[in-house]
A and B are shown apart, each in its own frame.
Chain A
Amino acid sequence: MVWWLNRAVGSLFNLIFLPFSSLNPWGAMLAISLLTALLMLFIYKKTSNQEGIRRVKNRIKANLLEIRLYQTDLRTQLGSQKELLAANLQYLLYNLKPLLVMIVPIFLILAQLNLWFASRPPAPGETFLLKARFIKTMDLERLRLDLETPEGLVAETPPVRIIDEAEVAWRLKVTGPVREPLVIQVNGERYQKIVPAGKGRLLRVSTVRVKRNLWQELLYPGERPLPADSLLKQIELRFEPQRLKLLGIGFHWLVAYFLLSIILGLALKGLFKVEI
């Protein structure tokens, strides 16, 4: 169920980012921020009490004015402060419902954006870590373990088995284009992991494949989950983090996304007559 949801949202993002694959990632970030701003304005308008918000904002303004006008009248000042506090609380209450509704799409969007902006795939010649996290009851020392690397990828080290962390790790090196997934064989069972690669400036990079679990699947929507009875809890590729570069400064994608979405949302609220 979650996988199908992830797949549907993932396809939508593939479509949105298709025109930006060879462009500067800031273009894609601007586009998704704009779409997010529009979506959030729509949700806000439809789920909030617009009239109530307008009223309470007017009350806030009136109280602020009162405070400025009656600076010498202590009783009026205190009354206005009390009114101001109450109006603010009312304003926050009006926002609660739309915010709760917004959390769902925002969560899905963030999980998808993490795939597109968080990591960069290694270039040929570079190395990275492959980590397989097992269920705690596995005896790693007696495990029949094998790693099948596709063309373009070689394992540079034998596995490091970390018993008390239930983890096995390898160091892999990219030697050329990688088109097939790698396979970890555990006691004869085969577990695949996609190794993202490519030359585009904007790539979908799924670094984690998780076992079937609602929360984990929502967090890592890049790949079909491992079966529920899998011996593996998670397969992870440790890629280098990626930053969005602007004027020599590297921005974390999350910072860029929230800043742009908020700025665009505030800029467009008048156009769509949304009272925030």
Chain B
Amino acid sequence: MSGRKNEEALKRREFLQLVLGTSAGLLLAPGQAFLRTAGRKETGLKVLVLGMDGLDTVLLDRFLQEGKLPHFQKLAASGTYRPLGSSVPPQSPVAWANFITGTNPGGHGIFDFVHRDPRTYLPVFSASESLPARHNLRLGKLNIPLSGGEIRNLRRGRAFWQILEDYDIPATVFKIPSNYPPVETRQRTFSGMGTPDLKGYYGLFNYYTNEYKTVTEEYGGGGRVHDVYVIGNRVEARIPGPNNPFQRGNPETFVDFKVFIDPVNPVAKIAYQDQEFILREKEWSGWKKIRFDFIPTQGVSGICMFYLKEVRPKFKLYVSPINIDPSDPALPLSTPESYSRELARKFGPFFTKGLPADTAALENDVLDEKEFLAQDEIVYQESMAMLEEELRNFRSGLLFYYFSNADQRQHMFFRLIDRNHPAYNEKLAAEFGQVIEQTYRQMDRALQLAMEKVDRNTVIVVMSDHGFCPFRRGFNLNTWLLRNGYHMLRPGTRPEEVSLFQATDWSRTRAYGVGLNALYLNLKGREAQGLVRPEEKEPLLRELAHKLEQVTDPLTGEKVILKAYLTSEVYSGAYLPEAPDIILGFNRNYRISWNSPLGSFPRELIEDNPQKWSGDHMTAPDLIPGVLLASRPARLEQPALEDVTAGILTLFGVKIPPEITGRPLF
């Protein structure tokens, strides 16, 4: 039975079922008819782009000055080292979409991790959309989908590798965020951040224990606790899988497994399906295949890792989110489809979930810091092995290669380098205070590998999408809107008990916040129960922006929001009408609170962030630029993400299409 931190989690689960329940049907989506890989032109020049998510200029500067990053130093000395202007807001899906399309969010339609459906005011994932089969044949309890489901990549605008394809320039793009499902192309691409696990979540772990434990099943991820009993040194439990599209009501599938514990030794054998393996206490299993059957002839396969955390006195077993099996992908992972299988043949199973490190398990104390790092080290080693292989095969055109480690570890370990963080812990800081520095050193080793493997005709670019800063305090936007009369609840409602705007009186509400940086007006003609007339929009937005920029934290006296961006002023492009009305650019140390993004109204306006997720990047982009290093001198003094796109196209002699707003970097 799953435990929960509070009542809200229940509602969230219901919401998740609504949003994600369709994912299982998508598993039957017909394969994309990709043709052979294209772009076979031998280019004299090659371009290697290492995308290192979250690499921060302040930290990079410091480590460079301390001489800890010799290969970054070498690259900086040979060409360019600049801060790289991030997106508004500087969230990864938005920022990488800027880079992919060479334009701003108005041109690609990704404004936040989470958007809202103006018909229901409910949050929806911004990156992709899952649609179940349109026609089904029902026979008793059996449901036979007569067509495949559909998964849509909601990022619009052409990707730069599609433009290169027009010129027959080959490109391999490995795990770039904001590309799930991978857009149709004959280039070799593998999807990155945004790729779900087999259940359709952004990562849902399972934790089996006979100890009382609660975890949060969060929006799109988190974990589940399964109460188990150790009887006769044996544990029997089940691993939940995707929902079954072949049964009425789409019930969850599962795989039974048994754990046999030695009566004395801290060791156990785990058995399910045709798998049998032994784990010692505190040991990871490596990848294990698992198959979920829908009906005798139909099923999907995934991969997961087991971690035997403790055998006695309490039994604790962690099972990672079930990743899509790259050797037999149930959902589209790559272009061409065979690329995924080719990688699986060479390397065996590997992480396919968009953000592989299980931050939710660390956040919920299911994994401790050491265990989390052990898992993320597997991610790093896999990435390095695959980078080496891609570099070996890199003969022409462009290679983009992505690392998630710096981003994920900074999110979780910033509290241990920031003494003023509410979650700072001296003992942990002594043990893990060097993690971020070590991660930057690992990124330096990745660069070293690249520098050693490429030839003189290769331009090396290292870039990050944004920097990082501490997340000490959280701002409850919806509480602020409520207190200032912009948002109204039905009479008799206790605001702190509301989630997903369930008690909002839309007939009197003028503004609401959904997502991590976004504020929307309840606009007539756009929202289902719109109130604000178009002529009232502009003055109301200016009023809101002005007031929000005046909010100060009574605890520190600091401004909470450095800049409230009116999207009509900072975005341009065809998708501007879909954008939020205001993007909040928080001050350093601040961010939206944990509960506000999903339509909640916590009691406190600004509250401490006591969680392990302690570093973030939702401030005004000027505060946390990304980094740009290149083996060529850059023409621009203050480049932005879109300029790198234009720069790459220019290097290959490609004419920059008009929809790209970036300026040539080189």
Contact = CB atoms under 8 A, between A and B. Distances in A.
B234 A164 contact: yes
B267 A157 contact: yes
A161 interface: yes
Given A156-B278, A160-B269, 12 more contacts: A131-B276, A157-B279, A158-B280, A159-B265, A160-B260, A160-B261, A162-B233, A162-B260, A162-B269, A163-B232, A164-B234, A171-B278
A129 B260 CA distance: 14
A161 B261 CA distance: 8
A165 interface: yes
A269 interface: no
Contact of B276 (A129, A158, A159): A129
A141 interface: yes
A160 B268 contact: yes
B346 to A, nearest CB: 14
B365 to A, nearest CB: 27
B267 A163 contact: no
Interface string A147-167: 000000000111111111100
Contacts, number: 48
Contacts of A159: 262, 265, 267
B347 interface: no
B278 A141 contact: no
A249 to B, nearest CB: 12
B232 A164 contact: yes
A160 B279 CA distance: 10
Nearest to B345: A248
B234 A169 contact: no
B234 A160 contact: no
Interface string A19-42: 000000000000000000000000
A133 interface: no
B34 interface: no
A170 interface: yes
A169 B278 contact: yes
Interface string A220-258: 000000000000000000100000000000000000000
Interface residues of B, number: 17
A156 B279 CA distance: 9
A160 to B, nearest CB: 5
Contacts of B265: 157-160
Interface string B217-251: 00000000000000011100000000000000000
B278 A170 contact: yes
A161 B263 contact: yes
A131 B269 CA distance: 11
A161 B276 contact: no
A169 B262 CA distance: 10
Q: Which of A156, A160, A161 has the most CB of B within 10 A?
A: A160
Consensus secondary structure, chain B interface: strand
A158 B262 contact: yes
* Residue of B260, B262, B279, B280 ringed by the most chain A CB atoms within 10 A: B262
27 contacts: A129-B277, A129-B278, A131-B276, A141-B263, A141-B264, A156-B278, A157-B265, A157-B267, A159-B262, A159-B267, A160-B260, A160-B261, A160-B262, A160-B265, A160-B268, A161-B263, A162-B260, A162-B269, A163-B232, A163-B233, A163-B263, A164-B234, A169-B269, A169-B276, A171-B277, A171-B278, A238-B276
Nearest to A161: B262
Chain A interface size band reads 10 to 19
A161 B260 CA distance: 8
Nearest to A165: B260
A25 to B, nearest CB: 18
A16 to B, nearest CB: 30
B373 to A, nearest CB: 22
A158 B260 CA distance: 13
Contacts of A162: 233-234, 260, 269
6 residue pairs, one from A and one from B, having the closest CB atoms: A158-B265, A171-B278, A162-B260, A160-B269, A160-B262, A157-B278
A96 B137 CA distance: 45
Contacts of B278: 129, 156-157, 160, 169-171
A158 B276 CA distance: 16
Contacts of B233: 162-163
B229 to A, nearest CB: 15
A159 B265 CA distance: 8
A238 B277 CA distance: 9
A171 B277 CA distance: 8
Interface string A185-221: 0000000000000000000000000000000000000
Nearest to B261: A160
A52 B262 CA distance: 64
A165 B233 CA distance: 12
Contacts of A171: 277-278
Contacts of B268: 160
Nearest to B280: A157
A156 B268 CA distance: 13
A260 to B, nearest CB: 25
Contacts of A158: 262, 265, 267, 280
A167 to B, nearest CB: 8
Contacts of A163: 232-233, 263
Nearest to A141: B263
Nearest to B278: A171
Interface in B244-291: 260-265, 267-269, 276-280
Contacts of B269: 129, 160, 162, 169
Contacts of B262: 158-161
Nearest to B341: A248
B496 to A, nearest CB: 50
A157 B285 CA distance: 13
A65 B166 CA distance: 63
Nearest to B266: A158
B311 to A, nearest CB: 11
